[in-house]
């Protein structure tokens, strides 16, 4: 029970009034920037680094932990209310969450996201407390072949999920994959599809694509076909947040989402996207109301949000135990450690135990604070939708502009945003689903890198995909996911 | 959803055919673009052209299938959104105003500054959505832009262009 | 007759002196970090900012970010600020490489070099369980079959890649035949070598420090000329590979500034380098002091540009 003693000592550090105040500032700030599209926890911590240089290390990290979790909580708010996901991890939340909000159930969607985030964050932190070193050991052993197979699994299950018209879904996916190729090829250093623009050498940031296709595309589309008869605002169904039925439908997705999200966070380059996508498909498969998916199913918010937050906790496992950043925010946190002359890794627990355990303790506290902060705020946030349409859509556009502009401080990105807005309009007009394109942009480059890394490491031996047990196992699941549904359908027809 | 009219299959829809042809053309252009990627002299087992080739050929084929279907009379139904009225006449001018306002605002962002640039964007969206209380729109758009500017530059230390208000704010 | 002349000269000099001094002291200095907040150039810029301000050398100093394309977007913007003597930009070896790989229209011969500030040496590591006990073992296996020994490191054309290329050349291996596996982030390189997925990995010492000290990785070589205090790794040179490489960071100014304006900026940096605040920053951040200013840095920059262009051609990355 070594961990337990250290954890109590950590709580002693974290529970001093001053550190509690820093935690509160952190979670508040994190929630606020999470709400803004495009400005995520990574940028916030990076911008705050110089400001915090004069704070004691423990206080600074307690605040950063608050920003980190707070950003995850806040990210879901804009997705649900405004259909403007600012982080790749909250894209899936927008799908069902925004539909719920438009039906007047915004408060319930926000509540299930907040509670799911709390549950996942707390379970994730527990795992971090008691099993971190062991998990980290396993996580680095996962070969690129297995990671490639995992993305393949995500592609296959997703194209089945958004298969209203498989042809249009595939075109959307191919388009996204193509956008993902733009920029300098990591493996060979050659420019691809940059059309001679140096601004495109780093590729197109997914934030630009997501906000363009989702927020700007929708604004253009709605403007051309505005519903005039009905009142100008969405009616909220009272203040009622979650009903008993909502709770019953949410708790299992929370747990399943956590189980999916945490390990992906711990895997290098695992990320929060794949588990949110997988969680969504899984919940749709398991749901008793699959017909509600796409119309505002609460499971589709609860599962992915839990997966998102659990992966945020998972990311801290390799960061603290191995000094291995597995996400953009983790890389910035690593820079923060270095600012204090600290090197995360196996020795950090020995050399700076009080700091690490204070940080871990503050994760529990921060999570709890976030729940207290977000549950009462859910109905307040939901009132945002009472803003008359012209002012609401104008506000969405302005916030999108800030988010995209601040990526590179460049007007070029705003022109790109406008182009993707027009494409987003066209996709709505001609019935192409937007989500596969986004998934292509995010996962395409990762898939290519894993594949080519695997080939480079094996010296060009393609058989590694089936000889490595973990990747072979996942590839079998991929094949089953492809073959089983048609077979089952055929048998079902015969039985009927 | 009370949508009685089933998609008509008889008449050819020109926009659908054009979109399908456009996708096919994009695929072909990507194939040409792939040829233009420098092959690397490095020992790369899977080179930089392999994935672009797979994706561009895939997009071309998918586009071709869509074109065939469109020529046989398939047409896409616009998405149904909560705020939209599928039977309303399509008002393309509104989209044009938003887009135009956005681009004008974007290009004036550096010379005029963030506050006026985004205020132009805000104003044009509100106008396109049918708001006509000009005084209120002007006030709100400037206020939103100003508060956003202050929040981001002072609160987060982001650098947003001050433009003509340099030294004033 | 002479009296009024002297008074005139005196009063003139009194008038001129303060304005000359004003031209010398720098006002409202701006430092461009050609990368996103949080990265190496951003950290360097902000450290320079606080060192200059805290020692009262220049006030106020503002840092702004122009990220993109290995810093070449920022470089182009610096080039367009011709004659602006209150602007500086941080840069480094990575930018020298990016100019080549991105075929940037502006290169470093078009701007005004000021000083090299800090740097970090690169280490070559193998997993603790690796059969290669030292650089000699690794090079022997590498020579036997260059494609079999996979090296992990950062993106293609970056410092890590250049070092492996230079090592190959020094060992008599065709750099085009070597098997280099690029990863996008330092964390992924570390994971690949910890997971035994590659034979060896290359990165700045800081990225591997914790694992080397914990005994999970073995440092078989460091790219410095002499062994470094506190780092338990023999130099590449002492093991028969005549290679020296520092991932250095420096600072440059726009083109078209006058000689005295350049001198004023360099003198401000000289003062900063001598300040206690800067020394403390180097200490906590574990940056190696590689300060070099004036014409020495001008020459160094030319040599590095040539060497980089050469090795990127040898690797096969640039035609």
Instruction: Say if the Cβ atoms of C64 and B40 lie within 8 Å.
Output: no
- The 8-class DSSP code of residue B89 comes to P
- Check whether C20 has a pLDDT greater than 60: no
Instruction: Say if the Cβ atoms of A198 and C76 lie within 8 Å.
Output: yes
Q: What are phi and psi of B81, to 5 degrees?
A: -110, 160
Q: How many domains does chain C have?
A: 2
| Domain edges within chain B | 14-71, 92-165
Instruction: Say if the Cβ atoms of B55 and A406 lie within 8 Å.
Output: no
Residue B21: predicted pLDDT: 95
Mean pLDDT of C227-252: 89
User: Are C54 and C133 in the same domain?
Assistant: no
Q: Closest to B157 (Cβ–Cβ): which among A47, A219, A460?
A: A47
ipTM of the complex: 0.90
Beta-bridged to residue C289, according to DSSP, are C118
How many angstroms separate the CA of residue A136 from the nearest CA in chain B?
A: 30
Cβ atoms of C97 and C285 closer than 8 Å: no
Is residue C204 one of the residues assigned to a domain? Answer: yes
User: Are C155 and C294 in the same domain?
Assistant: no
**Which pair of structure tokens corresponds to residue C261?**
């304006």
Work out the pLDDT band at A236, boundaries 50, 70, 90.
low
Range of the domain at C290: 27-119+247-315
Q: Is C317 on the interface with B (CB under 8 A)?
A: yes
Interface of B with A in 67-106 (CB under 8 A): 69, 76-79, 81-86, 88, 90-92, 94-95, 97-99, 102-103, 105-106
Mean pLDDT of A295-303: 89
Worst-scoring range by mean pLDDT, A42-51, A311-320, B48-57, C174-183?
Answer: A42-51
User: Are C252 and C232 in the same domain?
Assistant: no
Among candidates A309, A317, A228, A323, which has minimal Cα distance to A272?
Answer: A309
Q: Which residues does chain A have within 8 Å of residue B144's beta carbon, measured at their own beta carbons?
A: 394-395, 398
Is residue C11 one of the residues assigned to a domain? Answer: no
Cα gap C307→A125, rounded to integer Å: 49
User: Are C254 and C108 in the same domain?
Assistant: yes
Instruction: Say if the Cβ atoms of C156 and B42 lie within 8 Å.
Output: yes
Residue A74: predicted pLDDT: 80
Angle of helix B114-128 relative to helix B92-107, nearest 10 degrees?
180
- DSSP one-letter string for C168-230: HHHTT--TTTSEEEE-SSHHHHHHHHHTT-SSEEEEEHHHHHHHHHTTSEEEEEE-SSSPPTT
Work out the pLDDT band at C161, boundaries 50, 70, 90.
very high
- Work out how many CB contacts closer than 8 A connect A with C: 155
Cβ atoms of B52 and B60 closer than 8 Å: no
Cβ atoms of C37 and C65 closer than 8 Å: yes
Is residue C90 one of the residues assigned to a domain? Answer: yes
How many angstroms separate the CA of residue C134 from the nearest CA in chain B?
A: 25
Mean pLDDT of A267-285: 82
Worst-scoring range by mean pLDDT, A159-173, A399-413, C244-258?
Answer: A159-173
What b/e string do you get for C25-37 counting C-beta neighbours within 10 Å, with b at 16 or more? ebeebbbbbbbbb
CB neighbours of residue A494 within 10 Å: 7
Q: Which residues does chain B have within 8 Å of residue A187's beta carbon, measured at their own beta carbons?
A: 44, 46, 48
Worst-scoring range by mean pLDDT, A364-373, C32-41, C301-310?
Answer: C32-41
Mean pLDDT of A49-74: 80
Mean pLDDT of chain B: 85
For residue C165, give the chain B residue with the closest CA.
B42
Q: Which residues does chain A have within 8 Å of residue B90's beta carbon, measured at their own beta carbons?
A: 224-225
- Check whether C186 has a pLDDT greater than 60: no
User: Are C58 and C112 in the same domain?
Assistant: yes
Give the position of tokens 């496992």.
A317
User: Are C177 and C159 in the same domain?
Assistant: yes
Mean pLDDT of A417-423: 95
Residue C122: predicted pLDDT: 92
Q: Closest to B40 (Cβ–Cβ): which among A99, A190, A218?
A: A190
Q: pLDDT digits over A151-196, tens only? A: 888 777 766 666 567 788 889 989 999 999 999 888 888 889 988 8
Instruction: Say if the Cβ atoms of B42 and C317 lie within 8 Å.
Output: yes
Q: Which residues does chain B have within 8 Å of residue C146's beta carbon, measured at their own beta carbons?
A: 43
Beta-bridged to residue A183, according to DSSP, are A192
Q: Which residues does chain C have within 8 Å of residue B46's beta carbon, measured at their own beta carbons?
A: none
CATH of the domain at C145: 3.40.190.10
- Check whether A470 has a pLDDT greater than 60: yes
Among candidates A364, A301, A456, A349, which has minimal Cα distance to A126?
Answer: A364
Mean pLDDT of A68-94: 80
Residue C2: predicted pLDDT: 46
Mean pLDDT of chain A: 82
Worst-scoring range by mean pLDDT, A338-347, A374-383, C114-123, C270-279?
Answer: A338-347
Alpha-carbon distances of A418 from A82, A201, A204, rounded to whole Å: 18, 19, 13
Cα gap A244→A254, rounded to integer Å: 15
Helix (H) or strand (E) holding A91: helix A91-100
Of A231 and C200, the structure prediction assigns the larger pLDDT to C200
Residue A229: predicted pLDDT: 53
User: Are C180 and C213 in the same domain?
Assistant: yes
Mean pLDDT of C146-163: 89
Give the position of tokens 């991105």.
C102
Instruction: Say if the Cβ atoms of C317 and A185 lie within 8 Å.
Output: no
Distance of CA A196 to the CA centre of its chain: 32
The percentage of chain A sitting over the pLDDT mark of 70, rounded to a whole number, equals 90
Residue B60: predicted pLDDT: 96
How many angstroms separate the CA of residue A323 from the nearest CA in chain C?
A: 7
Query: Of C175, C205, C239, which residue is a domain's last?
Result: C239
What b/e string do you get for B86-98 counting C-beta neighbours within 10 Å, with b at 16 or more? eeeeeeeebbebb
Instruction: Say if the Cβ atoms of B43 and C177 lie within 8 Å.
Output: yes
Residue A269: predicted pLDDT: 67
Cβ atoms of A71 and A44 closer than 8 Å: yes
Q: What are phi and psi of C91, to 5 degrees?
A: -160, -170
Alpha-carbon distances of A145 from A463, B48, C156, rounded to whole Å: 10, 19, 21
Cα A325–A45–A211 angle (5° rounding)? 90
| Domain edges within chain A | 2-495
Cα gap A281→A300, rounded to integer Å: 9
Residue A3: predicted pLDDT: 76
Residue A231: predicted pLDDT: 47
CB neighbours of residue A365 within 10 Å: 20
Cα gap C181→C189, rounded to integer Å: 9
Cβ atoms of B121 and A401 closer than 8 Å: yes
Mean pLDDT of chain C: 85
Q: Which of C38, C45, C281 to mutate to test the interface with A (most CBs of A within 10 A)?
A: C38
Give the position of tokens 């035949």.
C177
Is residue C107 one of the residues assigned to a domain? Answer: yes
Query: Of C180, C215, C239, which residue is a domain's last?
Result: C239
Cβ atoms of C210 and C108 closer than 8 Å: no
How many angstroms separate the CA of residue A388 from the nearest CA in chain B?
A: 9
Mean pLDDT of A9-36: 84
Of B143 and B160, the structure prediction assigns the larger pLDDT to B143
User: Are C126 and C234 in the same domain?
Assistant: yes
Query: Of C239, C269, C299, which residue is a domain's last?
Result: C239
Instruction: Say if the Cβ atoms of C101 and A189 lie within 8 Å.
Output: yes
Q: Which residues does chain C have within 8 Å of residue A50's beta carbon, measured at their own beta carbons?
A: 46, 49-50
Mean pLDDT of A358-365: 88
Cα gap B77→B80, rounded to integer Å: 9
Alpha-carbon distances of B4 from A430, B7, B87, C168, rounded to whole Å: 19, 10, 11, 72
Rg (chain C; Cα; Å): 23
3-state DSSP call for residue A125?
helix
Mean pLDDT of A322-341: 76
Instruction: Say if the Cβ atoms of A191 and B38 lie within 8 Å.
Output: yes
Residue A39: predicted pLDDT: 66
Phi-psi region of C198 (alpha: psi -120 to 50; beta: other; left: phi over 0): beta
């Amino acid at each position: 029970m070594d961990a337990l003693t250290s954890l109590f000592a950590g709580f002693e550090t974290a529970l001093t009034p001053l550190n509690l105040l820093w935690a509160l500032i952190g979670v508040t700030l994190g929630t606020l920037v999470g709400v803004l599209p495009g400005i995520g926890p990574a940028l916030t911590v990076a911008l705050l680094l110089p400001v915090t240089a004069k704070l004691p290390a423990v206080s600074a990290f307690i605040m950063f932990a608050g920003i980190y979790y707070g950003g995850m909580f806040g990210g879901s708010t804009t997705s649900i209310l405004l259909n403007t996901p600012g982080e790749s991890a909250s894209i899936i939340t927008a799908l069902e969450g925004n539909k719920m909000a438009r039906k007047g159930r915004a408060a319930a969607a926000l509540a299930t996201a907040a509670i799911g985030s709390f549950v996942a964050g707390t379970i994730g932190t527990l795992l971090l407390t008691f099993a971190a070193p062991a998990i980290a050991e396993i996580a680095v052993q996962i070969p690129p072949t297995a990671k490639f197979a995992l993305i393949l699994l995500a592609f296959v299950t997703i194209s089945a999920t958004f298969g209203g018209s498989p042809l249009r879904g595939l075109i959307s996916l191919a388009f996204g994959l193509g956008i993902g190729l733009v920029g300098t090829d990591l493996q060979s250093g050659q420019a691809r599809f940059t059309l001679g623009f140096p601004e495109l050498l780093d590729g197109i940031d997914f934030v630009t694509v997501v906000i363009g296709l989702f927020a700007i595309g929708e604004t253009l589309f709605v403007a051309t076909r505005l519903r005039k008869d009905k009142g100008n605002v969405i009616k909220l169904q009272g203040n009622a947040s979650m009903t008993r039925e909502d709770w019953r439908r949410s708790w299992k997705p929370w747990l399943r989402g956590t189980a999916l999200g945490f390990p992906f966070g711990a895997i290098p380059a695992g990320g929060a996207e794949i588990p949110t996508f997988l969680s969504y498909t899984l919940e749709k498969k398991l749901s008793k109301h699959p017909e509600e998916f796409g119309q505002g199913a609460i499971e589709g918010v609860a599962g992915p949000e839990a997966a998102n937050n659990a992966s945020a906790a998972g990311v801290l496992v390799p960061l603290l135990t191995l000094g291995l950043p597995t996400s953009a925010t983790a890389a910035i946190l690593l820079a923060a450690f270095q600012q204090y002359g600290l090197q995360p890794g196996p020795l950090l627990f020995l050399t700076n135990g009080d700091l690490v355990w204070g940080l871990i303790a503050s994760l529990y506290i921060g999570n709890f604070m976030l729940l207290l902060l977000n549950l009462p705020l859910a109905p307040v946030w939901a009132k945002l939708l009472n803003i008359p349409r012209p002012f609401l859509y104008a506000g969405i556009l302005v916030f999108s502009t800030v988010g995209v502009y601040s990526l590179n401080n460049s007007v070029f990105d705003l022109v790109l945003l406008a182009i993707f807005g027009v494409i987003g309009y066209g996709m709505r007009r001609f019935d192409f689903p937007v989500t596969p394109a986004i998934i292509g942009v995010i996962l395409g480059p990762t898939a290519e890198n894993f594949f080519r890394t695997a080939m480079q490491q094996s010296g060009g031996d393609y058989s590694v995909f089936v000889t490595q047990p973990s990747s072979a196992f996942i590839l079998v699941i991929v094949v089953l996911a492809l073959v089983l549904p048609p077979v089952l359908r055929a048998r079902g027809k015969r039985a009927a | 959803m009370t949508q009685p009219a089933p998609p008509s299959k008889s008449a050819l829809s020109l926009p659908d055919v054009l979109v399908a042809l456009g996708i096919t053309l994009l695929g072909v252009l990507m194939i040409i673009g792939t040829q233009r990627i420098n092959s690397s002299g490095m020992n790369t087992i899977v080179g930089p052209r392999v994935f672009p080739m797979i994706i561009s050929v895939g997009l071309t084929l998918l586009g071709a299938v869509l074109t065939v279907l469109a020529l046989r009379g398939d047409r896409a139904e616009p998405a149904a959104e909560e705020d939209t009225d599928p039977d309303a006449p399509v008002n393309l001018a509104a989209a044009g105003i938003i887009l135009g306002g956005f681009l004008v605002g974007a290009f004036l962002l550096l010379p005029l500054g963030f506050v006026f640039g985004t205020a132009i964007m805000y104003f044009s969206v509100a106008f396109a959505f049918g708001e006509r209380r000009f005084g209120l729109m002007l006030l709100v758009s400037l206020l939103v832009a100003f508060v956003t500017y202050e929040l981001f530059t002072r609160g987060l230390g982001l650098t947003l262009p001050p433009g003509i208000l340099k030294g004033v704010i | 007759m002479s009296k009024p002349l002297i008074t005139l000269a005196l009063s003139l000099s009194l008038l001129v002196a303060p304005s000359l001094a004003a031209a010398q002291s720098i006002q409202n200095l701006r430092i461009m970090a050609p990368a996103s907040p949080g990265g190496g150039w951003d950290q360097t810029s902000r450290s320079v900012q606080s060192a200059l301000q805290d020692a009262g050398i220049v006030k106020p100093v503002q840092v702004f970010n122009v990220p993109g394309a290995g810093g070449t977007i920022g470089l182009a913007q610096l080039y367009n600020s011709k004659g602006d003597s209150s602007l500086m930009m941080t840069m480094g070896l990575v930018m020298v490489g990016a100019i080549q790989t991105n075929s940037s229209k502006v290169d470093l011969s078009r701007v005004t070099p000021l000083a090299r500030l800090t740097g970090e040496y690169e280490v070559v590591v193998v997993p603790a369980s690796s059969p290669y006990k030292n650089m000699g073992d690794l090079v022997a296996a590498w020579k036997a079959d260059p494609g079999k020994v996979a090296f992990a490191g950062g993106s293609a054309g970056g410092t890590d890649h250049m070092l492996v290329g230079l090592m190959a050349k020094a060992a008599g291996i065709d750099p085009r035949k070597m098997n280099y596996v690029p990863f996008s982030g330092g964390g992924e390189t570390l994971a690949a070598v910890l997971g035994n997925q590659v034979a060896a990995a290359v990165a700045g010492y800081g990225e591997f420090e914790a694992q080397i000290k914990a005994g999970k990785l073995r440092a078989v070589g460091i790219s410095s000329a002499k062994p470094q205090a506190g780092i338990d790794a023999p130099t590449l040179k002492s093991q028969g590979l005549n290679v020296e490489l520092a991932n250095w960071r420096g600072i440059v100014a726009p083109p078209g500034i006058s000689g005295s304006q350049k001198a004023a900026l360099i003198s401000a940096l000289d003062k900063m380098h001598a300040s206690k605040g800067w020394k403390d920053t180097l200490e906590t951040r574990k940056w190696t002091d590689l300060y070099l200013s004036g014409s020495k840095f001008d020459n160094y920059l030319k040599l590095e540009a040539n060497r980089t262009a050469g090795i990127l051609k040898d690797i096969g990355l640039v035609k």
